[in-house]
Amino acid sequence: MSESAPLRVKTTNQKMKSRKEHELRYKLGEETHRIIKRDVLSQSDNKRSVSGFTRKAISSQAPQLAELVRGGLIAQRLVLLLSNIRGINEEIPESIVGASIKDERISKSLTVSITNEAAREFGKFTDETTISTSAAVRCCIFRELYEHDPEYEILDDWMRDEIVRTWSEIRATITEPLQYFHHVLARRFTHQKDITQYFIQQDSKPFLDFAEAYKSDFYQTACYTDLINNHGDHVLTNVENSIEEHTEFSLYPEKREFLSEYEIG
């Protein structure tokens, strides 16, 4: 039995209550709880509790997860802006973040106290999405377990495989909006380039809004680099050619410098 929540932009104010910003109630799977308590903590020099492990996981992992979520939100916004052009209609698929070992019962009700600074970072991960607090905490835990075991080699093969599989699924789900964004760009600016150019010429103002957001919020960011790493820069170059052709934005002097630094790095 798994608990999951769709990952999408919030439509209502669901932020953490400030009076409880240092305390989180969450649910954890029974098998995950056993792995932490029986295998990780029992062999650790630092005899922490499950709560202590969770506290460290949130503090260490929430900032990085918040960056992944932010990339997805930027990608979703750009898809919506592109869809404002008459003739282009793209829907945003919902992503489900379960964050649990396959078939485990999520029945452990726990509480963890975290610092105000950690609470702020955790809030960046959850505030703009509908992912539940429990699922967000478990995302932090699984990334911590994923990074923890190669260093200490505590888990047996089955448990290690489950941790790797679960974290890989979590990451794939969180980054799905960014991958979908690239799929949309490939279809619109490579495979259906001629009709897309026609739509842009007929309805230029929405494309100007898209181009402005692309340049200010996405261009040369970590998300941008991630897509180049995974897919190359062909599709993004096609998008940027269209931006330069149909708007007054200039990208190429910056891009040449960016790619030069990227290749050196």
Calculate the alpha carbon distances from 34 to 37, 94, 104, 180 in Å: 5, 31, 11, 36
The single-letter code of the amino acid at 17 is K
pLDDT at position 262 over 60: no
Distance between CA 6 and CA 165 in Å, rounded?
A: 20
Residue 62 phi, psi (nearest 5)? -55, -40
What is the mean predicted confidence (pLDDT) over 2-12? 46
Both 165 and 125 in a single domain?
yes
Instruction: Tell me how many degrees the CA angle 261-176-68 measures, rounded to the nearest 5.
Output: 55
pLDDT at 21 over 60: no
Same domain, 80 and 208: no
* Claim to verify: residue 214 and residue 132 sit in the same structural domain: no
84 and 197 share one domain: no
C-alpha 168/C-alpha 161 separation (Å) is 10
Residue 92 and residue 221 in one domain: no
pLDDT at 17 over 50: no
Using alpha carbons, select from 251, 243, 217 the residue that is nearest to residue 73.
Answer: 217
The residue-averaged pLDDT of 49-73 equals 92
Decide which of 174, 199, 215 is a domain's last residue: 174
What are the pLDDT digits (tens) for 152-176?
567 778 888 999 999 999 999 888 9
Last residue of a domain, one of 158, 174, 190: 174
- Distance spanning both ends of the chain, measured CA to CA: 45
Mean pLDDT of the chain: 85
pLDDT at 15: 47
Looking at residue 9, the DSSP 8-state letter turns out to be B
If one compares 10 and 214, the residue with the highest pLDDT of the two is: 214
Residue 20's pLDDT band, with cuts at 50, 70 and 90, is very low
Confidence band for 78, pLDDT divided at 50, 70 and 90: very high
Residue, of 103 and 44, whose pLDDT is higher? 103
- For 126, what's the count of Cα atoms within 13 Å in the CB-facing half-sphere? 27
Is the CB of residue 167 less than 8 Å from the CB of residue 153? no
Helix/strand/coil for 32: helix
Reference 179, options 171, 191, 190; nearest CA is 171
| Single-letter amino acid code for the residue at 196 | T
Q: What is the pLDDT of residue 18?
A: 47
Answer whether residue 46 shows pLDDT above 70. Answer: no
**How would residue 114 be classed by pLDDT, with cut points 50, 70 and 90?**
very high
Query: In terms of pLDDT, which residue wins out, 29 or 99?
Result: 29
Residue-number span of the structural domain to which 245 is assigned: 176-264
pLDDT level of residue 151 (50, 70, 90 thresholds): low
71 plus 190 within the same structural domain: no
pLDDT, one tens digit per residue, over 223-242 is 899 999 999 999 999 999 99
Assess contact for 27 and 3: CB atoms under 8 A: yes
Q: Looking at per-residue confidence, does 134 or 43 come out higher?
A: 134
| Alpha helices, DSSP H, located in the chain | 30-34, 50-83, 116-126, 133-152, 157-174, 176-186, 193-202, 204-213, 222-231, 234-246, 252-264
Angle between the N-to-C axes of helices 222-231 and 234-246, in degrees from 0 to 180, rounded to the nearest 10: 130
Are 146 and 250 found together in one domain?
A: no
Residue 9 has pLDDT above 50, yes or no: no
- Residue 247 and residue 243: Cα distance in Å, rounded? 6
Contacts of 1 (CB under 8 A, 6+ apart): 105, 106, 107
Q: Which two tokens stand for residue 184?
A: 């949309």
pTM of the shown model: 0.79
- Min mean pLDDT across 78-92, 175-189, 247-261 is at 247-261
Same domain? For 190 and 144 the reply is no
Average pLDDT value for residue range 74-90: 96
| pLDDT, tens digit (0-9, with 9 covering 90-100), for 170-211 | 999 888 999 999 999 999 999 999 999 999 999 999 999 999
pLDDT at 160: 87
38 and 131, same domain (yes or no): yes
Give the number of domains in the chain.
Answer: 2
Instruction: Point out the domain boundary residue: 120, 150, 174.
Output: 174
